């Protein structure tokens, strides 16, 4: 890790300003577009400043898992393409891509956002599978929050295709959306030195001590958490990080279409 850069980032934060001129708890400009991919049943393009992520939703039908014969399934997959950042390499998904997909997946799955029981077509034989793909177009920091919002928007945007027996006609979409119960929003808070910040840019992400991604619901229920980074967090740290997450989630929720 570059100590000189870390000291410089902390020097900025001591002056209550970020590397790009923002305040500590200020998000970049957020924009959400839905239905951007014609060939997917649901899609969304989300931008946080320069960071841009596209999420797509496809449907398949298949056999349910033996331990839950009456529940549909969901798969979240992220591919960090080298075109989106000089730090990404081509090849099989690495640790960063897997963590991103899992954190997004957990936020949605554990919140009970989707009623998987309603995705059952025939008990023990046929259920819907939701396949979510995350593709960063430009990875300029804070992929966790951007991808979470993109996936939530894409799932809300998705419409079931028509089902003829066991075959799906992808050309015909019905008017039915995925049955949603909750709408989790993920906010990642970074700790650098004694400072807590949100929506980091790569310069800040490279020098972080620790980060905590918190997914919350509208009523401030915490549904998922993921800690990253090399250093530990104290109880007070976690408490104030959660507080920031809840506060910021309220702002981001407005952009969820």
Q: How many residues does the chain have?
A: 257
Which is closer to other proteins, CB of 7 or CB of 89?
A: 7
Which is closer to other proteins, CB of 5 or CB of 159?
A: 5
Which is closer to other proteins, CB of 141 or CB of 184?
A: 141
CB of 20 to other proteins, least distance (A): 7
CB of 49 to other proteins, least distance (A): 13
CB of 8 to other proteins, least distance (A): 6
Question: Residues 77, 132: contact at Cβ < 8 Å?
Answer: yes
Cβ neighbours for 51, distance < 8 A, ≥ 6 positions apart:
28, 136, 138, 139, 140, 141, 142, 143, 146
Residue-wise over 15-32: b if at least 16 C-beta within 10 A, else e? eeebbbebebeebbebeb
Cβ neighbours for 85, distance < 8 A, ≥ 6 positions apart:
136, 138, 139, 140, 202
End-to-end CA distance of the chain: 39
Residues near other proteins (CB under 8 A): 1-5, 7-8, 11-12, 15, 17, 19-21, 203
Which is closer to other proteins, CB of 10 or CB of 256?
A: 10
CB of 166 to other proteins, least distance (A): 52
């Amino acid at each position: 890790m570059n100590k000189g850069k870390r000291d410089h980032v902390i020097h900025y934060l001591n002056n209550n300003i970020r590397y790009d001129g923002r305040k500590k708890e200020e998000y970049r400009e957020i924009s959400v577009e839905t239905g951007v991919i014609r060939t997917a049943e649901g899609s969304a393009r989300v931008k946080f400043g320069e960071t841009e992520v596209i999420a797509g939703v496809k449907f398949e039908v298949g056999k349910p898992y033996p331990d839950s014969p009456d529940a549909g399934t969901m798969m979240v997959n992220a591919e960090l393409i080298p075109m989106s950042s000089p730090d990404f390499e081509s090849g099989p998904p690495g640790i960063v891509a897997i963590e991103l997909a899992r954190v997004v997946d957990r936020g949605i799955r554990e919140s009970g956002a989707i009623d998987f029981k309603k995705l059952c077509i025939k008990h023990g034989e046929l259920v819907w599978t939701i396949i979510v793909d995350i593709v960063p177009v430009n990875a300029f920091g804070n992929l966790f929050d951007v991808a979470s919002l993109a996936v939530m928007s894409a799932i809300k945007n998705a419409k079931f295709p028509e089902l003829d027996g066991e075959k799906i006609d992808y050309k015909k979409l019905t008017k039915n959306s995925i049955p949603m119960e909750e709408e989790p929003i993920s906010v990642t808070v970074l700790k650098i030195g004694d400072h807590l910040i949100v929506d980091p840019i790569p310069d800040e992400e490279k020098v972080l001590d620790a980060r905590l991604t918190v997914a919350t619901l509208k009523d401030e229920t915490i549904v998922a958490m993921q800690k990253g980074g090399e250093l530990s967090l104290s109880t007070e740290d976690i408490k104030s990080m959660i507080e920031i997450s809840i506060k910021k989630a309220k702002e981001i929720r407005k952009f969820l279409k």
